[in-house]
């Protein structure tokens, strides 16, 4: 799974259309050996790392949030489209549009979505695949709303095997057809596409998000062992991480405090959303804890992982989606990757995606960051600049590759901090 381009309009702080095109074709063989790029097919490349740079409140996190929300909507039927429209104008438009081009198993796809926020419904949705030889698009499915009747019209191409009648019975106006196909019990022809999209691993920085929840999300022992192995290379003093799940004793479950907790959870209005997963597990008689194991002179010492420093906990949170992307050939999408981390650590994480880590297909990283020191590691094709207009409060994003007269040999860091490219803080 690789992301080739991402376009959208009217989402969060972005009012106008934004289009970031990352893939390119070149007959210059230097790109085949350049670790900053991944070869998708002969003479066809995509960056291994894409970094969004800009001032505070410029819209970097909003861009990352839109991408994460769109992919979640595409693959998870339970996931609403967690994107809002631009509201800082007299007559806001409540229709947002999105387009994502991506590659799965050497086939390039184009997904398009038009979504009405006021009605909370999909107005149009389509998926196309490119002919590997000609590059021409042929549709996989199309779904369109009939405004007069309120009915959904669905058509499908040769790849799709789902029943249109059954899909119409299952599909809600607010759902993605692609996500709903995942819940159907018969063959749909979309399984490989969904499997590829599921190799997207995201993390949005939240100060209150406990590290054990991240570990629990990726309970695979092999993944935890890989993260432990990488932690050693960052010299944080941890030899490994242990995640243990235990059963809560029956007398504890039947105690008065637990009954009060259960009553409180059941009283939470449904419109506020489901209760935290941790509380639901406790009520089901399950709980878990995470420990960091330190080894000194052959003796092991175990501590609750929450006793580790803020930076160490943040590194652990970031490493899980990164290791999963590297080991599966997928995509890690991370907001504010540098928070709590030393600049050298951030540089090393970026280097992971430039190296052959021995997993086969290479992974891709898309992140936002204030660590502008890393941009000299990158190509101009890997840098996205984000800026917000002070008067209109509208964000805009563009690739450094689209800026006139920028050369690969330029000192990107110096040019950026002196304001040559824009997207820097206006202080004072």
Same domain, 154 and 16: yes
Same domain, 335 and 405: yes
In a domain, 398, yes or no: yes
- Beta-bridged to residue 396, according to DSSP, are 387
Same domain, 165 and 19: yes
Same domain, 68 and 181: yes
**Number of domains forming the structure of the chain:** 2
pLDDT at site 300 = 96
- The whole domain housing 302 covers 209-314
User: What is this structure's pTM?
Assistant: 0.91
Length of the chain in residues, anyone? Answer: 428
Same domain, 49 and 169: yes
Same domain, 42 and 62: yes
User: 129 with 109: CB under 8 angstroms?
Assistant: yes
Same domain, 171 and 130: yes
Same domain, 191 and 252: no
Eight-class DSSP state of 402: G
Given 279, 314, 349, the domain boundary residue is 314
Calculate Rg over the CA atoms of the chain. 23
Angle between helices 310-328 and 343-352 (to 10 degrees): 10
What is the C-alpha to C-alpha distance for residues 304 and 299, in angstroms, rounded to an integer?
17
In a domain, 324, yes or no: no
Show the low-confidence residues of the chain (pLDDT under 50).
Answer: none
Q: How many C-beta neighbours within 10 Å does residue 178 have?
A: 23
Tens of pLDDT, residues 51-102? 999 999 999 999 999 999 999 999 999 899 999 999 999 999 999 999 999 9
Burial class of 134 by CB neighbour count within 10 A (0 to 12, 13 to 18, 19+): exposed
Give per-residue burial for 291-326: e unless 16+ CB within 10 Å, then b. Answer: bbebeeeeeeeeeebeebeeebbbbbbbbbbbbbbb
In a domain, 126, yes or no: yes
Kindly report the CATH number assigned to the domain that includes residue 25.
3.40.50
User: 341 with 38: CB under 8 angstroms?
Assistant: no
Of 141, 145, 342, residue with least CA distance to 235: 342
Given 281, 314, 347, the domain boundary residue is 314
pLDDT at site 216 = 67
Same domain, 31 and 172: yes
User: 55 with 425: CB under 8 angstroms?
Assistant: yes
Tens of pLDDT, residues 300-327? 999 999 899 999 999 999 999 999 999 9
In a domain, 319, yes or no: no
pLDDT at site 271 = 64
User: 125 with 143: CB under 8 angstroms?
Assistant: yes
Half-sphere exposure of 29 (CA within 13 A, CB side): 0
Given 314, 342, 376, the domain boundary residue is 314
In a domain, 425, yes or no: no
pLDDT at site 193 = 97
Same domain, 115 and 22: yes
pLDDT at site 422 = 94
Of 70, 64, 74, residue with least CA distance to 82: 70
pLDDT at site 60 = 97
In a domain, 424, yes or no: no
pLDDT at site 232 = 87
Eight-class DSSP state of 11: B
């Amino acid at each position: 799974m690789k992301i080739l381009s991402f376009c959208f309009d009217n989402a969060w702080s972005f009012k106008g259309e934004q289009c970031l095109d990352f893939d390119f074709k070149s007959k210059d063989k230097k790109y085949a050996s350049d670790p900053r790029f991944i070869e998708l097919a002969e003479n066809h490349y995509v960056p291994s790392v894409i970094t969004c740079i800009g001032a505070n409140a410029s819209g970097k996190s909003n861009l990352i949030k839109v991408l994460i929300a769109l992919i979640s909507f595409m693959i998870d039927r339970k996931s609403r489209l967690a994107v809002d429209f631009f509201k800082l104008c007299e007559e806001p438009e409540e229709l947002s549009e999105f387009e994502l081009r991506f590659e799965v198993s050497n086939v390039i796809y184009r997904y398009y979505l038009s979504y009405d926020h006021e009605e909370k419904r999909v107005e149009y949705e389509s998926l196309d695949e490119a002919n590997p030889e000609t590059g021409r698009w042929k549709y996989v499915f199309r779904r369109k709303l009939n405004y007069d009747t309120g009915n959904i019209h669905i058509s499908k191409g040769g790849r799709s095997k789902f029943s249109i009648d059954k899909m119409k019975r299952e599909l809600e106006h607010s759902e993605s057809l692609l996500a709903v196909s995942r819940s159907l019990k018969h063959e749909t022809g979309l399984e490989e596409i969904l499997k590829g999209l599921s190799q997207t691993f995201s993390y949005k920085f939240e100060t209150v998000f406990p590290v054990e929840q991240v570990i629990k999300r990726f309970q695979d022992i092999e993944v935890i062992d890989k993260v432990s192995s990488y932690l050693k290379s960052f010299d944080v003093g941890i030899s490994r991480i242990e995640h243990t799940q235990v059963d809560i004793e029956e007398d504890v479950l039947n105690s008065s405090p637990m009954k009060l907790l259960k009553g409180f959870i059941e009283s939470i209005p449904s419109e506020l959303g489901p209760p935290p997963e941790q509380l639901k597990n406790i009520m089901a008689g399950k709980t878990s804890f995470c420990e960091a194991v330190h080894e000194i002179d052959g003796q092991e010492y175990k501590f609750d992982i929450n006793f580790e420093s803020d930076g160490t906990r943040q590194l652990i949170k970031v490493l899980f989606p990164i290791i999963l992307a590297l080991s599966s050939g997928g995509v890690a999408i991370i907001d504010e990757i540098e928070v709590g981390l030393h600049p050298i650590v951030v540089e090393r994480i970026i280097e992971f995606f430039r190296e052959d880590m021995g997993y086969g297909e290479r992974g891709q990283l898309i992140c936002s960051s204030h660590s502008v020191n890393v941009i000299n590691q990158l190509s101009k094709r890997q840098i996205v600049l984000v800026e917000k207009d002070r008067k209109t409060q509208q964000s805009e994003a563009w690739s450094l590759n689209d800026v006139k007269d920028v050369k690969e040999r330029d000192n990107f860091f110096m040019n950026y901090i002196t304001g040559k490219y824009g997207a820097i803080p206006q202080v004072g």
